[in-house]
Amino acid sequence: MLDGRNVWWRAAFKAAARFGYETRLVKGGEPLEGAAGAVGFVRPTAEPVGLRAHRAAYRDMKGAGLRMVQDDRQIDWYDDKLAQWELWKDWMPESWLFTDKAKALAFVQKATYPLVSKASEGASSTNVRILHNEREGVRHVMELFGRGVIVHHCAAGARSRQRGYAFFQRFIPHDVTWRVNAIGNGRAVFRRFNYANKPVAQTGNVAPVMQMDATVESLLDFADGFFKAAGTGWCALDVLQEGDRWTILETSLAWPWNEKDHADTPIFRTLYPWGQLWHAMFAEIEAGRLAVASSPSTSRGT
């Protein structure tokens, strides 16, 4: 396992030990002789230089014959909202990308507000801005095509600038942001109630949903459709509800990492509390439903 955040590996290794696995923490770039057939897992950092190195390490691990839990696209497009949007825009809110200043200005002068502006980088809803009116929209575009706007790279602490492009998304009013984690055939659902002074969709390490109702069933049906279309067996989705329609904001690699012990849990379409996710992952590996290789689709379908 490569853990670029240095917060996941202890809980993951504890779960691995329960299944009889030996464990090894890697940094990337080291020899991987004799690792063919082992299970590989990468949790990259969001810091740009480290992210490139961790993507290369993922390729090295895969090339050495490890059975990688994540699929290529979840690694390649982690913390890359523009790449995710290009592939999965049919699943996302209506969005607009401009690389021309005049066209961006013309758009914000006629847009419906509030309007969301995003940088391509920004896990955990970093660099998501809510523009409330035309004046804010024009000022923001002038900054994006001028000196640029500061971009924070999640918990990595690195900063850069968004410059030369504007990426806008239709604002969806919401009180709750949902997260759905795919773990082979297992699912975990989390819910975050937004703060009144920060009406920005964000999930992550929040309240686990442990009761099935019509809303959760609908959410799971939607998420299952995406996981199938994307060809992924290990992925997290940030999702909003708009009437009877669900919309993906982005895909993510983030999981809770609680280390509490727990009893064995059968794997089926169910809901898992925090501490059971790593156990569920290894149970799915043992059942042959993880270590994915797929040919994803880009279409939302019907």
pLDDT tens track for 121-167: 876 667 889 999 999 999 999 999 999 999 887 665 778 899 999 99
Residues 45, 156 contacting (CB under 8 angstroms):
yes
Mean pLDDT across 178-197 = 81
Task: Give the CATH class of 94-170.
Answer: alpha beta
34-92 per-position pLDDT tens digit: 889 899 999 998 888 889 999 999 999 999 999 999 889 889 888 888 999 999 999 99
Q: How confident is the model at residue 170 (pLDDT cuts 50, 70, 90)?
A: very high
CATH topology of 94-170 equal to that of 176-286?
no
3-state secondary structure the chain: CEECCCCCHHHHHHHHHHCCCCCCCCCCCCCCCCCCCCEECEECCCCHHHHHHHHHHHHHHHHCCCEECCCHHHHHCCCCHHHHHHHHHHHCCCEEEECCHHHHHHHHCCCCCCEEEECCCCHHHCCEEEECCHHHHHHHHHHHCCCCEEEECHHHCCEEEECCCEEEEECCCCCEEEEEEEECCEEEEEEEECECCECCCCCCCCEECCCCCHHHHHHHHHHHHHHHHHCCCEEEEEEEEECCEEEEEEEECCCCCCCCCCCCCCCCCCCCCHHHHHHHHHHHHHCCCCCCCCCCCCCCCC
Query: In the structure, what pLDDT confidence band is assigned to residue 101 with cuts at 50, 70 and 90?
Result: very high
Rounded to whole angstroms, the Cα distance separating 119 from 31 reads 36
Q: Which residue has the higher pLDDT, 231 or 108?
A: 108
pTM: 0.86
pLDDT band at 259 (very low <50, low <70, confident <90, very high): very low
Give 176-286's CATH code, choosing from 3.30.470, 2.40.160, 3.10.450, 3.40.50. 3.30.470
What is the domain partition of the chain in residue ranges?
2-76, 94-170, 176-286
**How far apart are alpha carbons 12 and 119 in whole angstroms?**
31
Separation between Cα atoms, residue 166 and residue 133, nearest integer Å: 16
Query: How high does pLDDT run on average in the chain?
Result: 84
